[in-house]
Amino acid sequence: MINLEQLGVHLPQGFLFQHVNLQINKGDKIGLVGKNGAGKSTMLRLLSGRDTATDGKIHKPKDCTIGFLTQDIKIDTHQSVFEYLNQSNELLTHLRTQLDKVNHDLVTREDYTSESYLNLLNDLNELNHTFNLHEGFLWEERIVTTLKGLGFSEEELHRDLSTFSGGWKMRAELAKILVNQPDVILLDEPTNHLDIISISWLENYLQKFEGAVIVISHDRLFLDNVTKRTLEISMGKVLDFPFPYTKYKAAREEELERLEGAKKQQDKDIKHAEELINKFRAKKNKAAFAQSLIKKLDKTERIEVEKDQVARMRIAFPLSIQPGKWVLEMIDMGKTFGDKVLFKNINLTVGRGEKIALLGPNGVGKSTLLKRLLNKLEGDGQVNLGHNAKITYFAQDQADSLDPMKTIYETVDEIAEGEIRKDLRSVLGAFLFTGEDVDKRVGVLSGGERTRLALCQLLLSPSNVLILDEPTNHLDIQSKEVLKEALKNYEGTFIVVSHDREFLQDLTNRIWDIEDKTLKIHHFGVQEFLQRKMDISNGVEVNKPVEKKLETIVIEEKKPLSFDEAKEIKRIKTQLNNQLKRCEDKIEDLEQKIALMTEEIATLDYSNEENAANKLQLFGSLKEELDVKMVEWEQFTEELMMIEG
């Protein structure tokens, strides 16, 4: 579908990336990863046609349509949300206008037997046929379904789009892309402004989408559930892995370990060669030998290894003082804004050591509930703190409250207490602030850097109750791992609002859900909670959990296999091993063919259109065959593991 030929982007400080040769096929689901500043967003802008590459070309079919969701959306319209989408398809809008005109003429004219009137009837039939061919009669239904899937309520569909926040405008723009069903969808951090329910809906949509998808995201689970291929921009190159994120990460770590070993050996060989050069270059009978070593070194391609950003450092939130058995108490608590009731009559006690995830769609009052718990907002009822309870709060806009004139080091130094002050630079290093970085002023930091600094400050604030409102926004995957590990080891109580399911998984022991203007408590995991929500929204009946009676479980001793059973299992294992070996041989053969064709395509003559099309089709077929074989390999491996188990 799209072919990148020797693509490169040059900046004043050097190449962002160069010599990129890639094939993007119909149906590809690709995760685009790399360090901040590696060029991920630039790559999407190049593919969308918004930017032009310094070197190379991007070959696309003439009729290829692309939908691009950027992080810096600007929507200037007074249309309603529904009308913004309804007018977004030029062809359907034109056909609707023509249909309205013909229908108007048919109703107002009275020359029913004239030739021009009969021509109008023919025009109407043709227009209706074309409109139906492009699914025009399903258009409005598709718009409503998509908007509701992304969290818009029925009343909000007809609100002026200019009255919505930036996050909701981003949802409207995403909905516009999805309903128009382009050939390629490019998404730059699509989950940043979506709630946990909408993210699940978007995943299901993209999994069924027949076109190509390329997505940048810091949501590991989203990448794993949507993508089947990962492109990493690293040190000016684009590396291609036929795996979703987690499998790619494991393969990449193995590759980096291998490269690290090869680099150590190369460094050792280079050092030895340099010693020989210094030893013999001044001797007449050895000068030629020294010169040959110099030429060999000049031609040697140095191995470079990109280091992980986050040091593997364990950090723990300090506990200020042990509180009593309960830390928070809500008595008839509620909050209303005018006539709108967000929640009411909440009576609940939070015990010491509870780990709570507060979930639900945007707009139900999650942040408001947290502010009521902190008594930052007035409302109905009351909130009481338990004995020795000390709360530390992390707001969504916490990073904006940092003093821009202070340095990074000064920002954490004013918060830290006790022995931890000796290790401030190590703690900052775990959040990617190393060396001279700690002397930078807060005012020059990016949004992600400020969020990391605000979390670092939070880590150093002694407390026994943490209230965290979207702490993972703007954090990369590795920084989220540091935060999650610290929360897992936290001895106090915490309440966290987050739309990041992977971050929440195995982190909390109960879920709060604002529903029907009250607070419901669930004791199952995040994945089960989301599945139940999706089932309810799809009209599936959800059974309430049944209380299990205590039963005596008798464990029967495992009987040894009979001779015939053991023989049959051995036969199946041999068969699976043979199938696995044939599959691995085929995968190796396909990978070699793809590698050769990648080099061939890089120098392809596109002036010969028929030959180029045949080559690209063959290349695409090889990639598809490789995908099929990879799936077979996984199936054979799983079956073998089950037999051996």
pLDDT tens by residue, 45-101: 999 999 999 999 999 998 899 999 998 788 888 899 999 999 999 999 999 999 999
* C-beta of residue 232 within 8 angstroms of C-beta of residue 35: no
Residue 356 confidence (pLDDT): 93
| Residue 84: CA count within 13 A, CB half-sphere | 25
Contacts of residue 67, Cβ cutoff 8 Å, sequence gap at least 6: 176, 177, 178, 180, 182, 184, 185, 186
Residue 192 confidence (pLDDT): 81
DSSP state at residue 87 = T
Helix (H) or strand (E) holding 184: strand 184-188
Residue 315 confidence (pLDDT): 62
Does the pLDDT of residue 482 top 70, yes or no? Answer: yes
Q: How confident is the prediction for the chain on average, in pLDDT?
A: 83
Query: Which 3 state secondary structure label does DSSP give 347?
Result: strand
Residue 533 confidence (pLDDT): 75
Residue with tokens 């392809």: 604
Query: In CATH, which of 3.30.70.100, 3.40.718.10, 3.40.50.300, 3.65.10.10 is domain 326-537?
Result: 3.40.50.300
Which of 51-60, 266-275, 338-347, 368-377 comes out lowest in average pLDDT? Answer: 266-275
Task: Name the pTM for this structure.
Answer: 0.68
pLDDT band at 554 (very low <50, low <70, confident <90, very high): very low
Digit-coded pLDDT (tens) for 313-338: 556 666 778 888 899 999 999 999 88
Residue 547 confidence (pLDDT): 39
* C-beta of residue 188 within 8 angstroms of C-beta of residue 111: no
Between 591 and 218, name the one with better pLDDT.
218
Q: What is the CA angle 628-633-639, rounded to 5?
A: 125
Between 642 and 137, name the one with better pLDDT.
137
Between 216 and 525, name the one with better pLDDT.
216
All structural domains of the chain with their residue ranges:
1-65+185-242, 76-181, 250-299, 326-537, 563-644
Q: 326-337 and 340-351 as β-strands: parallel, antiparallel, unpaired?
A: antiparallel
Domain 1-65+185-242 identical in fold to domain 326-537: yes
pLDDT band at 272 (very low <50, low <70, confident <90, very high): confident
Query: DSSP letters of 426-477?
Result: HHHHHTT--GGGGGSBGGG--HHHHHHHHHHHHHTS-BSEEEEESTTTT--H
Residue 258 confidence (pLDDT): 84
Between 148 and 455, name the one with better pLDDT.
148
> What separation in angstroms does the CA of 428 have from each of 37, 225, 439, 477, 479?
20, 33, 11, 17, 12
Digit-coded pLDDT (tens) for 380-396: 999 999 888 888 898 88
Residue 645 confidence (pLDDT): 56
Residue percentage of the chain with pLDDT more than 70: 91
Does the pLDDT of residue 208 top 90, yes or no? Answer: yes
Q: Which of 5, 148, 173 is nearest to 77 (CA)?
A: 173
Residue 471 confidence (pLDDT): 87
Q: Which of 351, 391, 390, 341 is nearest to 370 (CA)?
A: 391
| Fold held by 1-65+185-242 | Rossmann fold (3.40.50)
Query: Which 3 state secondary structure label does DSSP give 249?
Result: helix
Contacts of residue 431, Cβ cutoff 8 Å, sequence gap at least 6: 452, 453, 455, 456, 479, 482
Digit-coded pLDDT (tens) for 393-429: 988 878 888 899 999 999 988 887 777 777 788 778 7
Residue 606 confidence (pLDDT): 59
Residue 27 confidence (pLDDT): 93
Does the pLDDT of residue 545 top 80, yes or no? Answer: no
